[in-house]
Amino acid sequence: MNIHQYDLLVKFSTLRKPFVYFILGGPGSGKGTQCELLSKNLKYVHLSAGQLLRNAIKNNSEHKSTIENCINNGGIVPSHVTINLLDKAIFEDISSDTFLIDGFPRNYENMENWIALMDNKINFKSVIHILCSRTTMIQRITERSKTSGRSDDNIQTLEKRFIRYQNDTYKIIEHYRNKNQLIEINGDNSIEIVQREILESLNQLNNK
């Protein structure tokens, strides 16, 4: 077997253990924007948990009504649904070894089930938290709501999403901070500055 064949074998086999980063931040903190840029700059694959859930609604998934209910009320979809979508998306995509998972894990239930179901199938790298002021996030979502067509980009749902972020996601962020697996970036800065700071942090992490 030559090196090329070996490479293909590993890509398609259970030996393949992709690298995973989680990107967290409040609504409008720039998770999606930054992940898109990172995927261009580093050839990583960007997977948005929220987008996978929105796609599942469009595709009339069996969980459509559960997902719709959660999204419209700023709630968190039961993790078996989200993890199943992420698992498929990761293992169907062989274009890269590294995945940026945006908007996951949102709470302990997400995190604990991920650890139970996925931890031994992947190589966890780090959490990137984009820390952003509420004023900036409200401004961005208000602007985005003009064109996003998203049922949750309105002030009532936004308030609920802030509560989930503060009450649930923050605990996840602290959990990874205590494990020294957290990169925290100031998300109030411009898109370019935030991107540069994330790239610098990743560089440092990967050259340790």
| Closest CA relative to residue 20, chosen from 176, 168, 189, 169 | 176
Name the residue with the smallest CB distance to ligand C5P: 50
What's phi and psi for 48, nearest 5 deg? -95, 120
187: contact with Mg ion by CB under 5 A:
no
Q: Residue 183 belongs to what H/E stretch?
A: strand 182-186
Task: In the chain, count H helices and then E strands.
Answer: 10, 5
Q: Give the nearest distance from C-beta 161 to ligand C5P in angstroms.
A: 5
Least distance between Mg ion and beta carbon 112 (Å):
23
Q: Which residue in the shown chain puts its C-beta closest to Mg ion?
A: 32
Binding site for ligand C5P (CB under 6 A): 27, 48-50, 53, 70-71, 74-77, 82, 103-104, 106, 110, 152, 161
Least gap, CB of 109 to ligand C5P (angstroms) = 10
How buried is residue 124: exposed, middle or buried, by Cβ count under 10 Å (0-12/13-18/19+)? middle
Contacting Mg ion within 7-66 (CB under 5 A): 32
8 vs 128 by CB, closer to ligand C5P: 128
State whether residue 136 is helix, strand or coil. helix
Structure tokens at 188: 């109030």
Q: Which is nearer to Mg ion, 32 or 74 (CB)?
A: 32
User: Which residues would be at the binding site for Mg ion (CB under 5 A)?
Assistant: 32
